[in-house]
Amino acid sequence: MLEALRGRTGQVVGFLAAPDPSGHQMSWYPILSMIEAVHGLPPRPSYEDLIAALGQVGLHAKTGAGPAAAPLKITDRDFGWAAARLPKLDPDVGIVVLRSEV
């Protein structure tokens, strides 16, 4: 993995951990949509919305002195993020956790 990251010097590399990579989550989509509608929840942000919002946070600068965390609003939904660098892999490699109450 480290060699793959080093080969992309100057580029942002993102890895997305999804709850169900098998695709079986789609069978739950009608139920999830119904729950969101009943509770009046805003729509789930797209992958592009998530990447854009995290890009505006300035994670590289905010994690310079150590781990950082803050609230974040994406498509009218409240999120929180936490990030830390992984200097043993590379000085510019880190991990970000994005969470939502819903």
Mean of pLDDT over the chain: 77
Q: What percent of the chain has pLDDT over 90?
A: 20
Query: Residue 19 falls within a domain, yes or no?
Result: no
6-48 pLDDT, tens digit per residue, is 555 555 555 555 555 566 656 666 777 777 778 787 777 888 8
Query: Residue 81: inside a domain, yes or no?
Result: yes
In a domain, 58, yes or no: yes
Residue 37 lies in a domain: no
Joined tokens for residue 81: 């993020």
pTM score, whole prediction:
0.63
How many structural domains is the chain composed of?
1
In a domain, 30, yes or no: no
Burial of 56 (0-12, 13-18, 19+ CB in 10 A): exposed
Quick check: 1 pLDDT over 50?
no
Q: Which domain holds residue 95?
A: 1-6+44-102
